[in-house]
Amino acid sequence: MRGGGAGFGPVPPLPDPASPALARLGARAAAAAFYLPPAFMALFFLAPSLMTVVWSFWERTMFWMEPAFTLFSYENFFLSARFGNFLSSIGHSSIAVVICFVIGFPIAVFVRRRIPEIAQHRVMLLFILPFMVSEIVRTFMLRPVLGRNGLVNSTLMELGVISEPITSILFTPTGVVIGEVLSFLPFMVFCGFLAMEAAPRHVFEVCADIGAPRWRVFKDVILPLAAPGVFAGAVFILVNGLGVALIPNTLGGPGAVNAGLIATQAIIALDFPLAMAVSAIMTLTLIGLLALGHRLFDLASILEPFK
Amino acid sequence: MTLAPDLDAPADTAAVSVRGLAKRYGPVRALDAVDLDIEAGSYFVLLGPSGGGKTTLLRALGGFIRPDAGTVRLAGREVQDLPPNRRPTGMVFQSYALFPHMSVLGNVAYGLKLRRLSAEEARARAEAVLARVGLDGYGERRVWELSGGQQQRVQLARALALEPRILLLDEPLAALDAKLRKEMCYELKHLQEQVGITFVHVTHNQEEAMTVADRIALISDGRLVESGAPKEIYERPRRRFTAEFVGERNLFDGRVAAVEDGIAAIETPGGPALAPAEGTAPGAEAAISVRSERLTLSREPRPGAALRAEWRERVYLGLVAQHIVALPDGRELSIRIAPGGPEDAGWSAGEPCHVGWDPADARLHLD
Amino acid sequence: MSEDYVSPWETRLGWLALSAVVLAIMSPVLYSIYISFNEHGFGAARYDFTTAWYAAVFEDAQLLSALGWTVALALATVVVTIPFALLCAKLFKRLRRKLWLVFLILMPLFAPADIFASSLLVFFKTLNGTFEGIADATGLPVGHFFQLGFVTATIGLIVYTLPYAFVVILITMGRYNAEQTEAARACGATAWQAFLQVEFPQIRPGVLAATAFTVILVFNEYVRSNALKGGFDTFTTVLISQMLNIGMSEQSYAMGGMMSLTAISVVAAILAWTFARRAQLTRRAAAPAGN
């Protein structure tokens, strides 16, 4: 440095890359690498999901299927005896969505509004906890809880509330709904919380200052804010309620099915086009719901805090 | 609008030379064909309103933004394809951008270690630079233990340790309070004089710009509006925007009504506003500006320009007293007077007065 | 907080409801852990504490081999998912129009396990069929590509875990001041050096959390791994087949207990870490500042 450097001499230059051509190639490869994960997802998620539509029109063979264009698997599905049960499963999932909203959303609002910011994420950790326990464990372990000799019945009988064990909460549609609610409730809480996290806390303080009545605050402020999150949560619960075979399989009564179970059983029976038909219906429904949600509520805004 | 490159700075002494630089973000033109020259060893300030493009320009110099068009020459070399680490520039950031997981010494020595210096030499150099910025002995401190001003100096040390030809400063004083800002202004100026390299400093604060700059360039709407030494910018701005942005000026828009003896006149409701015509013909659309400290306030009209006005109020600012008067159409003018003088006292609201100035103190702007 | 005027009873009620819900959700897990330590299993009149069932798990050779496979799957998944998640997070921050990326990366979160597993299963079988055709026609040794096995199971797990890792890392990166990367570049660092030396040390906790999360997700996963794995067994598939065929044996409870206890410990560890971090940050903020 001019004017009084400490006599060190000039700073040496940066080491040159070993070979400029290689460095340029490396730079271009690095730039391309960023697009590797989305390409991976496009290949191994999007492509198979969309191909189900194509495969659903194929014809079944003994062990596999062959290219064709037939609506046979769709007929098979819609006209089968199980279709009625499938429709019931839509009803069960819908009930689960409503229950999750009624229980989970107020909790999300409570956490966002009434708990100090520092503690909010810790409380969210409490809801991540069930996620970390395997879904299969949680679902299977509902049997000893809801069964004839299970925790619920033995506790209620010990407390003298009932004299006979309740049998309608396991291996029944009720059991399925209970299973779905307990499995997916954390998701509704997350989504509601995330959606409201985008809005700063002082929104609520302003409402308090204005002196707005509570139901109006809820209707005009909280709901619209949380709408994208609630919608995302609802879609998740509905689609997973329909698509996870384990829950009706473990907790449902005889003949209880949902789309996921039909698909899995179809694959075991080597009826691949049927499985593909069910998957295609579910995939298209999912994409449709997400597109609708984005148009109505701008779903992507949930990620706002991270931009 | 482009400005011809400075003719009094021959090409080989230009540390920074920008031609036709352009950058768009969607429909917004952040930079619109900017031409600029910066002389080596000078303190150059990019001044302008927020969002006007000055930070974009600085970042384009540093290599953090890839321009859509144009060339950038640093120390004679074309660099627009070079990444930031390969340019002869160092950078100081508004948010300090210090590395919290390293000590102060670690921060300053970071670039030196990248250049494969031995640990002892890097340490010795880093400590020397720290001493130069006034942080002798702070090497082992952690970043969060320092005040804002100290963190700023660590940033400076980190950049200067690498002996760049050009130091880029992105609103370095924005986060400091007023008093500290003044001190740091002087320190930056002295540092630049000692070290002798080119400083390019972005700010929206005029006082900061005037304190440190050898030359100021006004950037607004992605364009270079005007450039010149602080005295020129302040006392004889060429463009209307400059007159509006720098210092406190009173502006009169309109058409040149007449030109007499080289003095142009623009009609206002209170009388003619006068300024040196500098070759402008009558009928041209123009604006006249006068600095508020060059206006005189009196009960009787004085020679030179004199407008009739109505006195409104007085604001005491400590160093000056600011008098607000209104022209017959309601437009307000601002006059700054030393407090305690004969013109300062005894006014009452609504009292008629005259505002005057020496035409030589006014400026005529065509755009 | 302007919430000073909120009735404390309302807050207490809220906490009560919250705790009740968490407890209800966790009750099957906690109950099954309770049972797993009982010498006499489920429904027995007596309760004698024992760890014998857990020991039995470790003595079962089939189970240990399955555990080994699960560990291998977890490692293979993490090695791909975490770098992918980092790349995605950086791409997300850089892009102006982000919708397509969000859609591609997050949609698998919504895809139910069985549906996704069937479509990927058929996809791999089709691919494998194509490669077998190519092998027959050209003699190239590609006939075993995409045969159901370790690789296909890993691919399915990567697709499953990437959204979660992405979100965790994105949250962590949110706290990082990106100007530090630019400062490092201005000091002479390449993009890679800037990432490794400046950014990564600061997002490391998030990356570790994402890694732990991914490992746990893989260990817990059943449907996708089962469909795509081919010949070997994983921990969960052994557990499920036992439960479905033999019923809820004491060993099943122990296995379930192991998985649950691991999950609870991890969450407890993260919780403890957040408390420690808050204490550290408070100490830093209180540190004396000079002029």
pLDDT the model gives residue C241: 82
CATH code for the structural domain at B11-240: 3.40.50.300
Kindly state whether C175 is in contact with chain A, defined as any CB-CB distance less than 8 angstroms: no
Of B110, B147, B155, the CB nearest to C291: B147
Is the CB of B194 less than 8 angstroms away from the CB of A4? yes
Q: How much is the average pLDDT of A289-304?
A: 78
Say yes or no: A264 contacts chain C, CB-CB below 8 A.
Answer: yes
Angle made by CA atoms B265, B270, B273, in degrees to the nearest 5 = 20
**CA–CA separation, A37 and C163 (whole Å):** 11
Assigned token pair, A120: 């909010």
How far apart (Å, rounded) are the C-alpha atoms in residues A210 and A222? Answer: 15
The whole-number pLDDT of residue B217 equals 94
Q: Read off the pLDDT of each residue in A145-149 and give the average, rounded to a whole number.
A: 83
Q: What size, in residues, is chain B?
A: 367
- Chain centroid to CA A22: how far? 44
CA distance C191 to chain B (A): 9
Query: In this predicted structure, what is the pLDDT of residue B9?
Result: 40
C-alpha separations of A97 from A167, A189, A236, A292, C18 in Å: 24, 12, 9, 17, 18
| C44 burial type by CB count under 10 A (0-12 exposed, 13-18 middle, 19+ buried) | exposed
- Residue C291: which of B91, B144, B149 has the nearest Cβ? B149
Q: Tell me which chains share at least 3 CB pairs under 8 Å with chain B.
A: A, C
| Inter-chain touch B145–C287, beta carbons under 8 Å | yes
Longest dimension (CA), chain C: 79
Average pLDDT over residues A166-173: 85
Do residues B195 and A2 lie in contact, with contact meaning Cβ atoms separated by under 8 Å?
yes
User: Torsions phi, psi of B89, nearest 5?
Assistant: -115, 150
Annotated domain spans of chain C: 48-277
- Residues from chain A that touch C87, judged by Cβ atoms under 8 A, are 33-34, 36-37
Out of B86, B125, B196, the one facing A8 most closely (by C-beta) is B125
Domain residue spans of chain B: 11-240, 248-365
Could you tell me the two tokens for B109? 């020595």
Least Cα separation, residue A307 to chain B (angstroms): 17
CATH topology of domain B248-365: OB fold (Dihydrolipoamide Acetyltransferase, E2P) (2.40.50)
- Determine the pLDDT at residue A1: 41
Q: What is the mean pLDDT of each run of 10 residues along chain B (367 residues)?
A: 37 78 89 91 93 92 91 88 90 91 93 90 92 89 89 93 93 88 91 92 92 94 92 89 87 85 86 84 87 87 81 89 89 88 83 88 87
Which helix H or strand E contains B126, and what residues bound it?
A: helix B119-132
User: In this predicted structure, what is the pLDDT of residue A208?
Assistant: 67
The alpha carbon torsion through C188, C193, C195, C197 (nearest 10 deg) reads -100
Cβ count near A283 (within 10 Å): 26
The pLDDT assigned to C2 comes to: 44
> Which ipTM score applies to this complex?
0.86
A219-269 confidence digits (pLDDT tens): 777 777 788 888 888 999 999 999 888 888 888 888 788 888 989 888 888
Are A145 and C27 contacting, i.e. CB atoms less than 8 angstroms apart?
yes
Q: Is a pLDDT exceeding 90 seen at residue A38? A: yes
Q: What per-residue confidence (pLDDT) applies to B54? A: 93
Cα separation of B133 and B184, whole Å? 11
Strand ranges inside chain B, DSSP E: 14-25, 28-39, 43-47, 69-74, 77-78, 89-92, 166-170, 198-203, 215-220, 223-228, 249-260, 263-268, 271-276, 285-291, 296-298, 305-316, 321-326, 332-337, 352-357, 363-365
Lowest mean pLDDT among A40-54, A135-149, B132-146, C68-82: A135-149
Q: Where are the domains of chain A?
A: 95-306
Residue A306's pLDDT is what? Answer: 60
> Are the beta carbons of B231 and B242 closer than 8 angstroms?
no
Residue B204 burial (CB count, 10 A): 18
Q: What mean pLDDT is predicted for residues A39-44?
A: 94
Range A72-98 average pLDDT: 87
Q: Do C186 and B90 touch (CB under 8 A)?
A: yes
β-pair partners for C263: none
| Residue C140 to residue B38: CA distance in whole angstroms | 64
On whether any CB of chain B is under 8 Å from the CB of C202, the answer is yes
pLDDT at C46: 75
Mean pLDDT per 10-residue section of chain C, whose length is 291 residues: 63 87 88 83 75 82 86 94 94 85 89 91 90 86 82 94 92 88 93 92 91 91 88 83 78 83 85 83 68 41
Cα maximum dimension of chain B: 77
Q: Can you name the CATH fold of C48-277? A: MetI-like fold (1.10.3720)
Superfamily of domain A95-306: MetI-like (1.10.3720.10)
- Does the pLDDT at position A7 exceed 80? no
pLDDT of residue B219: 93
Looking at residue A201, its pLDDT comes to 65
